[in-house]
A and B are shown apart, each in its own frame.
Chain A
Amino acid sequence: MAEHIVTKKQYSYVFGALLLLTFVTTSVGMMDLGRLNVIVALVIAVIKALLVVLFFMHIYWSTKLNKLVVVAGVAWLALLLWLTLTDVLSRGWLPFPGK
């Protein structure tokens, strides 16, 4: 795996994008868009996270093994959220005796 040196100029583009996205998400946060607020805020957060992981943390140029660790970390987090929420959010959907 050859060493990849990312230039300061490339980093500054990523920084600019992150700052812009922070400004956008804050501005949208001040408006009341109903359910859309959550979706916009989380989509922007995920885009920002991707920028940080891929470029600041060099995963874009990293080994397959490191990429796998990132995917595994996110997958376990998804599993945690998914299994918890399928339980919690579906409580009370069906009547059961004794309640």
Chain B
Amino acid sequence: MANHSLALRHQFDDVEQQKDASTFGMWIFLATEVLFFGGMFCCYTVYRSAYPAAFGHASNHLDLILGAVSTAVLIFSSFTMACAVNSASTGARNALVAFLGITILFAAAFLVIEMSEWRMLYKEGLMPGFNFTYKEFDPGHVQLFFCMYFAMTGLHASHVTIGIGILAIMAFRAWRGAFGPDYFTPIEISGLYWHFVDLVWIFLFPLYYLIARHLQG
């Protein structure tokens, strides 16, 4: 119990209450994030129902295999993050640092895959505002599709980037020995954030890569 007093702030009765409060606060934040992304998902739903054929044509310019691979990469990073939380709770410091490192590595791999997809779209003339030369089927609404694709995947990628920063700080603190079986709330909270990033992609992948492909009308 000696370690508890080190980490326990005076406004809490005990460490358990302190941990519950932190987790609760994080879930409240994640609920606001759901609505942050939710507005864009809503926008997508409205325009997809309005211009299904254009969305079908646009969706076929995305690389399905690349999308599936990046999904698997992100899910793997979520798994290693979960393992990091497990290592923290058993006090395995080296394993914790290693799992955080692997998570960061795969998060970076996800970004690299996504950048290569964006680069490909840029070269094909499908990046609104920078290089949009698409003239085939209904260019206006195909452009709308790509505006939303870049806005949503871009917002998601910025979350991934922030996540890498958070995990790097956590890995550094873990390496310095800041966490043990008595106190690893920051690892748990960072884990929640990271799984949320995974969660958003779990919906972005089918919406952009899968369910619009056959709408060519």
Contacts and interface: CB of A to CB of B under 8 A. Distances in A.
Contact of A73 (B16, B20, B30, B213): B30
A41 B68 CA distance: 13
Given A44-B206, A48-B202, A8 B86 contact: yes
B20 A5 contact: no
Contact of B42 (A29, A52, A72, A84): A84
Contacts of A94: none
A26 B66 CA distance: 11
Interface string B182-207: 00000010011001101100110110
Nearest to A68: B27
A15 B34 contact: no
Contacts of A5: 86, 89-90
Contacts of B195: 52-53, 56-57
Instruction: Give the bracket for the number of chain B residues in contact with chain A.
Output: 35 or more
Contacts of B82: 6, 11, 14-15, 55-56
18 contacts: A5-B89, A8-B83, A11-B79, A11-B82, A12-B79, A18-B79, A19-B72, A19-B75, A25-B206, A28-B210, A29-B209, A30-B64, A45-B202, A65-B24, A77-B41, A81-B42, A88-B49, A89-B49
Interface of A: 1, 3, 5-8, 11-12, 14-15, 18-19, 22-23, 25-26, 28-30, 32-34, 37-38, 41-42, 44-45, 48-49, 52-53, 55-58, 62-63, 65-66, 69-70, 72-74, 76-77, 80-81, 84-85, 88-89
Given A23-B68, A49-B203, A89-B49, 10 more contacts: A11-B79, A19-B76, A25-B206, A28-B210, A32-B213, A42-B211, A45-B202, A48-B202, A53-B199, A56-B78
